[in-house]
A and B are shown apart, each in its own frame.
Chain A
Amino acid sequence: MTEAVEALAAAYIDGPVELSVAGSQVLVAQAREGAPLDVVITADAATAQSLADLGLLAGDPVRFAGNRLAIAVEAGNPLGVGGLADLADDEITLVLASPEVPAGAYTQLALERAGINLAPDSLEPSVRAVLAKVKLGEADAGIVYATDLVTGGVGGVEIPEDGNLTTDYFALVLNREKADRAAGFVAFLQTVPARTVLADLGFLP
């Protein structure tokens, strides 16, 4: 989503957008402690809801994009990973996002639905850390967002429909003095040009 938001901010003509990029749960904590944020984008409903529960929002969360989960492997997939079930192999060094962060919560949900029990070697603090461990060759495989795989440096294995799920991105307008202008940016996220930017980067509507 980092790349997408940078592209969206660049495409937004009604004013400069200053970006602060971090994991959803970090952004929630920052907003809670009074960081000067006008719009917060979170990767799941739970983090969006936690800001709503704190009474910090000027309106309802707006879902503006979706994603899928995928398996990141070493480029060329030398271990021949074919799907989630293959990750249960003890020989495979597996890293997952920690369940405290959205990607980890989605991973846990997908695995539960598929009835697969995995023994990861590490629960990483962010999905970016999962991708980094695979890119660096420290881990053989990790579960990331499908859009993470277009960045290169890793190989990807799709997770078929029945073991996958659609993730949700929410844009939240915070209850601050610039809420009107912030709402303008969130409205832009739902326009055709913005959707085109997102679709080009592999995001789902």
Chain B
Amino acid sequence: MTRLLPLRLSLLAAVGVALLVLPLTGLILRTPWTALIGDVGDAGAALRISAVVSAVATLLAVGLGIPIGWVLARGTFRGRSALRAIVLLPIVLPPVVSGVALLASLGRSGAVGTLLNNLFGITLPFTIAGAVIAAAFVATPFVSLVSEAGFRSINPGLEEVAASLGARPWRRFRRVVLPQAAPALAAGIVLGWARALGEFGATITFAGNLPGRTQTLPLAIFFELEQDPEAAFSLSLILVVVSIAVLSAARHSWMR
């Protein structure tokens, strides 16, 4: 049975949806369909780099973000709120500020960057590894945020039962907590991946822009807009379609 929604809320929701859908409609209307395949073919390198960078960045964001989410959800220590605020900061920072912060720390003359360079001969700026770091930096907070909410929402009783049966903490985490939190974790992973895929400001500031090496799809779109606006529309549409496909495929795993 369908329940009636309050009219006012429905109207506001409709306005909100229009606000979000309008730019996408504009994009679709301006996309030169006949040139689409050629434009996308020309952007093959940027597509490949984006696929690699977003995938590796997501692995990093998941590997680090889920433990952070767990610590924030279950830890009982002073300064937890402050820690949460710091961890979530990249979500609200302008990405270019994230890029500047990465340069100041991991850049060739940055505090840690100098060490990396002197000890291992590693420099991150202007490399694909730098692009991965930039994307992981902005994606990890999304994974932490959503996984913390997921860990908080599960029933602690089951974990206590497992403990009483003699399961050690790591085993309890893997066998009891993770399966229950799985839908939330999946949501966090997808959001983190989408953020990594769309990352622009931190990437161009920290990793620079070189076609075939560090130029991801969003960077290619930015430069195409000045050279060939039509191609920029095509590439934007590809990014939108890929993102929608993944978001809606993943939807089933957490919005039931």
Binding site for B on A (CB under 8 A): 25, 29, 93, 95, 98, 100-101, 120-125, 133, 136-139
Contacts and interface: CB of A to CB of B under 8 A. Distances in A.
A187 B141 CA distance: 54
A81 to B, nearest CB: 17
A136 B107 contact: yes
A100 B223 contact: yes
Interface residues on B, range: 10 to 19
A203 to B, nearest CB: 25
Contacts of A122: 126, 207-210, 214
A3 to B, nearest CB: 22
Contacts of A137: 107-109
Nearest to B127: A121
Contacts of A98: 209, 223
A138 B107 contact: yes
Given A121-B210, A136-B109, A138-B107, A25 B125 contact: no
Contacts of A123: 208-211, 223
B103 interface: yes
The 5 closest A-B pairs by CB, nearest first: A122-B208, A137-B109, A100-B226, A121-B126, A25-B226
Contacts of A125: 204, 209, 222-223
A80 to B, nearest CB: 19
B223 A95 contact: no
Q: Is the interface of B mostly helix, strand, loop or mixed?
A: loop
B227 A100 contact: yes
Interface string B202-222: 001001111100100000001
Contact of A124 (B208, B226, B227): B208
A28 to B, nearest CB: 9
A138 B125 contact: yes
A136 B126 contact: no
A123 to B, nearest CB: 5
A92 B225 CA distance: 30
Nearest to A125: B204
A202 B213 CA distance: 36
A34 to B, nearest CB: 15
A29 B108 CA distance: 34
Given A100-B227, A122-B207, A125-B204, 13 more contacts: A25-B226, A93-B108, A95-B208, A98-B223, A100-B226, A121-B208, A122-B208, A123-B211, A133-B208, A136-B107, A138-B103, A138-B109, A139-B126
Given A121-B126, A121-B210, A123-B209, A138 B226 contact: no
B214 to A, nearest CB: 7
A122 B208 CA distance: 5
Contacts of B222: 125
Nearest to B100: A136
A137 B168 CA distance: 50
A25 to B, nearest CB: 5
A29 B227 CA distance: 12
A98 B227 CA distance: 11
B99 to A, nearest CB: 11
A134 to B, nearest CB: 11
Contacts of B108: 93, 137-138
Contacts of B210: 120-123
A96 to B, nearest CB: 10
12 contacts: A29-B226, A93-B108, A95-B126, A98-B209, A100-B227, A101-B226, A122-B210, A123-B209, A123-B223, A125-B204, A125-B223, A136-B109
Nearest to A140: B108
Nearest to B214: A122
Q: Which of A29, A122, A133 has the most CB of B within 10 A?
A: A122
Interface string B108-142: 11000000000000010110000000000000000
B137 to A, nearest CB: 17
A136 B206 CA distance: 11
Nearest to B123: A93
A126 B103 CA distance: 18
Nearest to B225: A29
A78 to B, nearest CB: 13
